Structure 1
Amino acid sequence: MKTKQENIFSSKTLTYFLQLAETMNYTQAAQLLGITQPALTQQIKKLERSVEAPLFYSVGKKLHLSDAGRTMLQTTHEIYELLNQATDEIQQTTSATQGKISIGLLASIEDRVLEDFAIHYYKENPEIELSFHMLTRKEIWERLETNQIDLAVMYLPDDSIKNWEPYKSKKILNEDLLFLHHNQKLAKRKKIKYKDTIDNNWVTYPERYYLNSLINESYKNQLVDAPNIVAHFTTPNQILRFARSTQTYTALPNSFVQAHQADIDSYVASFDPAIHFDLAFVFRQDKDQIPRIASFLDAFDDYIKDAFDDYIKAEDYISRLKATTETE
């Protein structure tokens, strides 16, 4: 027979509790967990019986954490933090040339260089198993927090994350968001004011994606109405194809534009003022002390530097993108 502690702190029980605490919706939480709503309700009631206190309460149709629920949530996060620290400490003693490395990439990132590097790295380290996952920003942070991925490749700064204390970042390059259009009246402009980009419909990323939020914030800061969005796609290739076929406006990262120059028949200009952000590796504190992770990050640096030794790292990345395109 299981003890009370085993009932409370089973991996499944905590996972169910965390998902419900995240969504505050039984139906949505059950769907994300891949179980039925009655099954989730049963697990939560079982947990509440174990701690002898209600963890949630409802006001109308809205769910809230009780005082006991907030205590359980804090304790659960502390448990995961301890487990993550233990995992990292154990892994720090492992080999630099064996094991698994799991990497989460934002779906909106131009990943050609990373794909090429993965091939190069495997040839040099055949006993390292690389796993790449195309994820949303929310999925990346959830998997970083639960140690399901070792490294994330994402855009920064990310104001949606309030607690950066457990994490570190390693910049890959400075990025610029570029304006793409088919308006001949604007064809000669290398820089374009925000007010001149809203006379046509746009296609861009989904509403909660980093770059869509960045675009909206930039227009807000310039006191200009946000573009009228008629379509949303998760990847830059999808956005580019739609923009080409419909003559809509869009904005895409410079790294993607450089890598796909042969496919871009639109005019390209910088925003005035420019929209800057960083592409970076993000990982938990001390993760870069794990031998295979440190080796991977060092090898990526060397891969970029070897391409064009005379350039700074950011330029190397862009140059590598150009070189990759030209050799295809």
Structure 2
Amino acid sequence: MKANADAVLSAKSLHYFLQLVDSMSYTQASQILGITQPALTQQIKKLERAVGSPLFGQIGKKLYLTDAGSKMEETARTLFDTVHDTVDEIQQFTDSDSGYISIGILNIFEPKVIEEFLINFGKKYPDVRLIVNFYDREELWNKIDKNEIDFAVSYIPDINANAATMRQFTTKEINKESIVLLSSKKDTSLESMLHENWASYTENSYLTHIFKRFYASIIPQNEIKARFSRVHELVDFAQSNKLNTFVTKSYYLVHQKEITLNEVRTSELIDFQGCFIYRKNKAQIPRLANFLTEWDKFLNAKDYASRLD
């Protein structure tokens, strides 16, 4: 008996299915989708009835994809990729003054200058709808890889930005970045921070990885007293508990008046770049091309570093 194609290829059902694949948790997936868990369960069961096979199995509380589920995932992602690519191609011929631009920003990226630019862009192009969300590192790369956002605002180098991955993407530099070490002590040195207590970022955070490349020896894992996904909470906790921590230079310059911790002078710089990351064909879409052009004009009027003051 053939499956009902309309039931199988329902965009909503496939979207819900892929979110459950990414989360492997009905609770988490339903929260992200903004629906109830029973509603999600109903959509998945509807899809399973349509194909005549279970798509998920369960061992204890852990979900896993069945063989049918793996095949459905492959098909669903191919379908969505095809739709996104087709929409991108069509949009290359649309008006540059309308439509929408979706932007994902890394949650530890200091947004002051980006926000200023978006305000200016919105005033100049009032009919272009801007959709802006903040994501952690894994979510952001997942979104750009699935073509669910037009621009990712993130840092490179990154292990996710390897040569194979970047063949389909291009980057446009936003700023040069570096790390600022912060201590509760005045006139301290890098060496004196060895084995002291720290507050840091979550394990998968970009800054955790980049910091380990240079300063792994000065923060033994057992000396990290707290981890945070957001910078404000990290700095507040470190200040209240007199812990060492670190932030980007951009964040430090913007929030220097609020920071009571002391900057630690070091001759070793950790240099990396903030960038717009986007698929190569995106630059052919008129409104996205305008977005990049307006960014250049914005920085030509006043450079990035000066806008941090």
TM-score (norm 2): 0.85
Is the aligned partner of 1:172 residue 2:168?
Answer: no
1:206: Cα distance to partner?
3.2
Residue segments in structure 2 that go unaligned for 5+ positions in a row: none
Q: 2:200 aligns with which of 191, 200, 204?
A: 204
What residue number does 2:264 align with? 269
Given that 1:202 and 1:227 are in contact with CA atoms closer than 8 Å, whether structure 2 keeps it comes out as no
| Partner Cα separation in structure 2 for residue 218 and residue 226 of structure 1 | 15
1:133: Cα distance to partner?
2.0
What residue number does 2:85 align with? 85
1:272: Cα distance to partner?
6.2
| Partner Cα separation in structure 1 for residue 20 and residue 131 of structure 2 | 28
Q: 1:297 aligns with which of 279, 283, 292?
A: 292
Given that 2:193 and 2:218 are in contact with CA atoms closer than 8 Å, whether structure 1 keeps it comes out as no
Given that 1:56 and 1:69 are in contact with CA atoms closer than 8 Å, whether structure 2 keeps it comes out as yes
Amino acid at match of 1:133: N
User: What SS class does the counterpart of residue 183 from structure 1 fall into?
Assistant: coil
Given that 2:81 and 2:147 are in contact with CA atoms closer than 8 Å, whether structure 1 keeps it comes out as no
Question: Once the two structures are aligned, what percentage of the paired residues are identical?
Answer: 38
- 1:157-181 CA-to-partner distances (Å, cap 9, x unmatched) read 3324674444332222221111011
Given that 1:55 and 1:68 are in contact with CA atoms closer than 8 Å, whether structure 2 keeps it comes out as yes
Q: 1:166 to 1:270 in 2, by over 3 A?
A: farther
What residue number does 1:310 align with? none
What residue number does 1:40 align with? 40
RMSD: 2.8
| Partner Cα separation in structure 2 for residue 139 and residue 223 of structure 1 | 29
1:14: Cα distance to partner?
0.5
What residue number does 1:101 align with? 101
Amino acid at match of 1:70: S
| Partner Cα separation in structure 1 for residue 132 and residue 155 of structure 2 | 17
Q: How does 1:241-280 map to 2 (within 5 A)?
A: 241-269=236-264, 273-280=268-275
Is the aligned partner of 1:144 residue 2:144?
Answer: yes
| Partner Cα separation in structure 1 for residue 222 and residue 273 of structure 2 | 23
What residue number does 1:21 align with? 21
User: What SS class does the counterpart of residue 149 from structure 1 fall into?
Assistant: coil
Amino acid at match of 2:272: F
| Partner Cα separation in structure 1 for residue 218 and residue 173 of structure 2 | 30
User: What SS class does the counterpart of residue 126 from structure 1 fall into?
Assistant: coil
1:114: Cα distance to partner?
1.3
1:248: Cα distance to partner?
1.7
Shifted more, 285-294 versus 161-170: the winner is 161-170
| Partner Cα separation in structure 2 for residue 128 and residue 44 of structure 1 | 35
The total of aligned residue pairs comes to 306
Q: How does 1:50-61 map to 2 (within 5 A)?
A: 50-61=50-61
1:147: Cα distance to partner?
4.3
What residue number does 1:215 align with? 211
| Partner Cα separation in structure 1 for residue 138 and residue 240 of structure 2 | 31
Amino acid at match of 2:306: S
| Partner Cα separation in structure 1 for residue 34 and residue 232 of structure 2 | 30
| Partner Cα separation in structure 2 for residue 68 and residue 249 of structure 1 | 50
| Partner Cα separation in structure 2 for residue 131 and residue 140 of structure 1 | 14
Residue segments in structure 1 that go unaligned for 5+ positions in a row: 308-315
- 1:109-143 CA-to-partner distances (Å, cap 9, x unmatched) read 11111122223223433333333322223333343
User: What SS class does the counterpart of residue 277 from structure 2 fall into?
Assistant: strand
1:73: Cα distance to partner?
1.0
1:36: Cα distance to partner?
4.1
Amino acid at match of 1:119: I
Q: 1:122 to 1:246 in 2, by over 3 A?
A: same
Runs of 4+ in 1 over 6 A off after TM superposition: none
User: What SS class does the counterpart of residue 208 from structure 1 fall into?
Assistant: coil
Q: 1:54 to 1:244 in 2, by over 3 A?
A: closer
1:37: Cα distance to partner?
3.9
| Partner Cα separation in structure 2 for residue 292 and residue 239 of structure 1 | 37
